[in-house]
């Protein structure tokens, strides 16, 4: 079992026009493979952004336009391998440039940082204390000054 901070995640991009109205089916395939959808959003990627992000892919395989961006997590096994199996099952029916899956742990980290930079940001807890002006001059309460209590 992995430690809590060792989240095994990957990123999957699907061209929206090829999956119009089928996202529930796509998500159910992930759940059947024990993959948890941690985040999902739609993004429009212009061709210039696509050229920058997918610089290592042939131009025909780069996704442009409206796309579904999905973060998948699995603590039980190899997430990239499981996601690639699902992606391969779709690719036979899809044109080039309709689907992208991170190919390894390093690529997944880079891809997640690009699309979801604050995915693991911890919420910040804050406490607000309102002190009346005469509170500091009041002296000790229960044997402690206000400054000692705050520290």
pLDDT in tens, 88-109: 777 777 777 788 888 877 888 8
The rounded distance, in Å, linking the Cα atoms of 2 and 97 is 34
pLDDT at res. 44: 92
Share of the chain above pLDDT 90, in %: 3
Name the token pair of 118. 């604050």
Task: Give per-residue burial for 21-47: e unless 16+ CB within 10 Å, then b.
Answer: eebeebeeebeeeebeeeeeeeeebee
Determine contact, residues 80/10, Cβ cutoff 8 Å: yes
Name the token pair of 53. 């992000």
Determine contact, residues 67/41, Cβ cutoff 8 Å: no
pTM (2 d.p.): 0.67
pLDDT at res. 108: 84
């Amino acid at each position: 079992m992995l430690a809590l901070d060792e989240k095994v995640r990957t990123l999957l991009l699907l061209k929206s026009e090829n999956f119009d109205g089928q996202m529930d089916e796509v998500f159910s395939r992930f759940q059947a493979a024990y993959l948890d959808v941690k985040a999902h959003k739609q993004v429009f990627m212009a061709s210039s952004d696509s050229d920058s992000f997918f610089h290592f892919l042939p131009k025909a395989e780069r996704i442009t336009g409206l796309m579904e961006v999905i973060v998948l997590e699995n603590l039980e096994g190899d997430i990239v391998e499981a996601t690639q199996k699902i992606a391969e099952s779709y690719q036979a029916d899809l044109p080039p440039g309709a689907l992208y899956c991170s190919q390894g742990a390093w690529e997944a980290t880079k891809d997640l940082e690009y699309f979801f930079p604050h995915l693991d940001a911890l919420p910040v807890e804050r406490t607000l204390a309102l002190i009346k002006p005469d509170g500091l001059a009041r002296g000790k309460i229960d044997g402690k000054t206000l400054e000692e209590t705050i520290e």
